[in-house]
Amino acid sequence: MSSDTGYAVQAERVGKKYELGELASLPRTAEHLVRVLARKPTRLRMFHALRDVTFTVDPGESFGILGSNGSGKSTLLSIIAEITLPSSGEVRVRGRVLPLFSVAAGFHLELTGRENVLMFGTVLGIPREQVLRALPAITDFAEIDAAHMGTPVKRFSEGMMSRLAFATALSFPAAVYIFDEVLVTADDHFKSKCTEAIGALREQGAAVFFISHELSLVRAICDRGMWLEAGRVRAIGPMDDVARDYEASGVRPT
């Protein structure tokens, strides 16, 4: 684990659980009422997405999270981004978090590329003038011409969406960036550009969380990381060591 001082993100014994089953069905409501009147405890089926997760990430560090689908990766990042709250434990974050959770995360398919960039910036609280100034650099990095930027993104290929989403996120200031499988449809050329861009973010002091089932990409981008399995920390340390243990376990990325 990194030092406890000067952290960007610090998690201590974080847990997250969800109630399974229908939340508002008539039979369930009736059963709950009967049990309340009889002063009997309500029986709840709970799913533990995270259990006792502890780690620290420092400014300027790129931190990879490995694990199969359902292991708790996106749940953990949603807690860091304050999209959801932990059921137990605590996550402390210093500075603005900029989360990008999927290729089309935050995009409205009926809006144009340009309109989506403006909306993305507005949601983050970035002044409109600053977003407009950033537009040329965004379109240049995404390699999307003006005609396409004036087209609804529902007509974009997945690769174009991926490039625009990543380029937009890179252009706005944050202390912590979250990239969750956003390069899954990108080609090797764009992945190379993004690897360099993430390196530049780190040099500026930003912390980066990166998730991908492409282990070679995780190794290239991250110097430290964690392996989650069924919501628990299986390993944490240098990225090459964690990736090697993950591969040796026989877990197949899904």
Output DSSP code: residue 43: P
Pairing of strands 88-93, 9-19: antiparallel
Pairing of strands 62-66, 224-229: parallel
How much is the pTM? 0.84
- Take residue 75 and report the two structure tokens written for it: 């749940």
For the chain, the structural domain boundaries read 9-248
Average pLDDT on 238-246 reads: 96
Residue type at 114? Answer: R
Contacts of 174 (CB under 8 A, 6+ apart): 95, 96, 97, 98, 206
Q: Please write the tens of the pLDDT for every residue from 34-87.
A: 776 777 666 667 788 999 999 999 999 999 999 998 899 999 999 999 999 999
User: Tell me, what's the pLDDT at 26?
Assistant: 63
**What is the C-alpha to C-alpha distance for residues 21 and 7, in angstroms, rounded to an integer?**
38
**Residue 3: which pLDDT band, with cuts at 50, 70 and 90?**
very low
Give the homologous superfamily in CATH for domain 9-248.
P-loop containing nucleotide triphosphate hydrolases (3.40.50.300)
- Take residue 195 and report the two structure tokens written for it: 């690897």
Q: Please write the tens of the pLDDT for every residue from 158-210.
A: 889 889 988 998 889 999 999 988 887 788 899 899 999 999 999 999 999 99
